[in-house]
Amino acid sequence: MPRNSKASRRGFLRGAGMAAGTLILANIANGGAVSSIGQSSGAAANFATAGLAAVPKTKVDFGTRSVSGDLVGNVMTADPLSIDPGSLAGSAPHQQTKLWVAVNQRPYEYIRGHLLNHHVHGPGENRNLVPITGSCNTTMEKQAEHVIKKAVIGEGKVVRFIAKAKGKQGVRKHIPQESELPEKMVLHAVELEEGGDGKWKTEGNVLLNNKEIPNTLPSDVPIGTVHVEVNLSTARRAQLDLIEGVGPVLADRIVKLRNKLGRPFHTYDDLTGAEGIGDDTVEKLKNNKWVKLY
């Protein structure tokens, strides 16, 4: 193949993009982001010098829904998503909705989650933001967004990425707006290859196959409630009674079971030996971050 052919130059530029991606990932590790292609990578300079686009510009469609008169992020489709941000610029959240103001009355529980991560050009605007729990956001970063950043920035790949906020929560008493929060996040991503017509539509390796991330809300307690950690293996009856969903009767049965065993609880299955404690109660205790088994 001639050294200066379009195909050979494209391969070179994609390789340059991968090398630049290594530097960008290092920048991200230090808190940076890919804000614009002119500033974010040496690959961009190579593209401009050659007069070619080794990868297509990122194009994103944001789908929203109305909550209390404000638009809240609901679906994001990046097709394609590449190291070239196109017209986008990633940023931290800088807009807020009435929904966010309401649920943020529970301090340290929620964050304004990006549908498209800001390291891969996701703007901090309401169309790209949905309130989710901090634990949901952490899981998304570890199990999904890391995969996307590695492919697009670290390896110079082009992908189709779809993020959806699915479902709604049940009725909430103390902050009714919490019922508007999604039940889960669903993420799908597949690598794209350039076809003979120059379009990036040919699907390759699946990176995320409709990955579901649960958005489990904190207990529906009054705002300002002070939580106390309770150890099932050492707590007195009065302390066990404070656990949501336990009450005085089950608290007494847990203590009696513990005395009968003559030891701390080893697994949550131990609790099923107490009358009235079934699988549903055990699951709630497992998911209560203020409850410890031993």
pLDDT at 40: 44
Domain boundaries, the chain: 56-214, 230-292
pLDDT at 32: 54
Question: Which residues, in sequence order, are CB contacts of 179 under 8 Å at separation 6+?
Answer: 168, 169, 170, 171, 172
CA atoms of 121 and 128, how far apart (whole Å): 11
- Topology at the third CATH level for domain 230-292: DNA polymerase; domain 1 (1.10.150)
Q: If you classify domain 56-214 with CATH, what class do you get?
A: alpha beta
Q: pLDDT 10s per residue in the chain (294 long)?
A: 443 334 433 443 455 445 455 455 555 445 555 544 444 444 455 544 444 458 999 999 999 999 999 999 999 999 999 999 999 999 999 999 999 999 999 988 999 999 999 999 999 999 999 999 999 999 999 999 999 999 999 999 999 999 999 999 999 999 999 999 999 999 999 999 999 898 999 999 999 999 999 999 998 988 877 677 899 999 998 888 888 888 889 899 999 999 999 999 999 889 888 888 888 888 888 888 889 988
pLDDT at 286: 87
pLDDT at 199: 92
pTM over 0.85: no
pLDDT at 278: 85
pLDDT at 287: 85
pLDDT at 58: 97
